[in-house]
Amino acid sequence: MTNTLKTRPSDEIAPEGLADAGRAVADLAHLAKNIIQVLSGCSEIIDLALKTGQLDRVQKAWQLHQPSFWRLKKFQLDLIKYTKHYPLSLQLCELNTLIAAAAKLLEPFFVKRNVQFSSHLADNLPLLTADGEKLRDAVVNLLITAVDNLQDQPGQLSIATFFMKSDNAVRIIVCDSGPLLDAAEYDALLTPHERCRNMLGTGLEIPLAKHVIEDHRGRLNLNTDPTKTNTLEVLLPL
């Protein structure tokens, strides 16, 4: 009887991809440990509170558990996306609709962190041929990066879209009111790392967004307005 070994996910990843994944895991291991510690503490509090009938403590612990579970789930999915390339599923999309959906996903975190979010979406955007899900996730990652630029402090965050008729392209601008990042800090965003203890993201946001945008023949520019505000710019050809 012949034993057939099950194919491992790593068998489908190029050696350079495995090296990148190994560095990402090493650099982000502490972040994952912090999330798991929060979840473990919440579980202990909830278990004890249920046994003693302290429902107010259950509610308070659950408010910590939910965002931590969301971050752990995102961390796992982000690592998979970072190590394995999935082909685009192209269709006609409304960019403003994708952006609205991305903002809706993050709305609870805007409220919890006292982030004043605003959107300024052009009403003359043509339909875009794109992978709607991947592009929405890229916008989510740009918004999360902007939230983490605020360093867990109240602030303002905005997103805007423009139709660049002369270039036959659409433009997305994300701005935040956090402390201005310098060139070295922007360069660091391009590699996975834990930015701060209370960050909302996983440290993989910009690498993943850049990958998706470039798959759409687009370009991600960082720090396009260095003297006034933190700015992320996306240019997508039609």
User: What would the mean pLDDT of 186-215 be, rounded to a whole number?
Assistant: 87
Between 9 and 112, whose confidence is greater? 112
Residue 215 pLDDT? 95
Q: Which helix (H) or strand (E) holds 157?
A: strand 155-164
In Å, the largest CA–CA distance within the chain is 70
pLDDT digits (tens, 9 = 90+) for 150-169: 988 999 999 999 999 999 99
User: What would the mean pLDDT of 76-96 be, rounded to a whole number?
Assistant: 88
Residues with Cβ within 8 Å of residue 95, at least 6 apart in sequence = 125, 128, 130, 135, 161, 170, 172, 236
Contact between residue 211 and residue 190 where contact means Cβ atoms under 8 Å apart:
no
Residue 140 pLDDT? 97
The DSSP output letter for 126 is P
Report the candidate in 77, 73, 128, 119 with the shortest Cα–Cα distance to residue 100: 119
Contact between residue 107 and residue 235 where contact means Cβ atoms under 8 Å apart:
no
Between 136 and 197, whose confidence is greater? 136
pLDDT-based confidence at residue 20 (cuts at 50, 70, 90): low
The DSSP output letter for 77 is H
The pTM score is 0.82
Token look-up 């990042």 returns 181
Distance CA 72, CA 146 (A): 19
Residue 13 pLDDT? 58
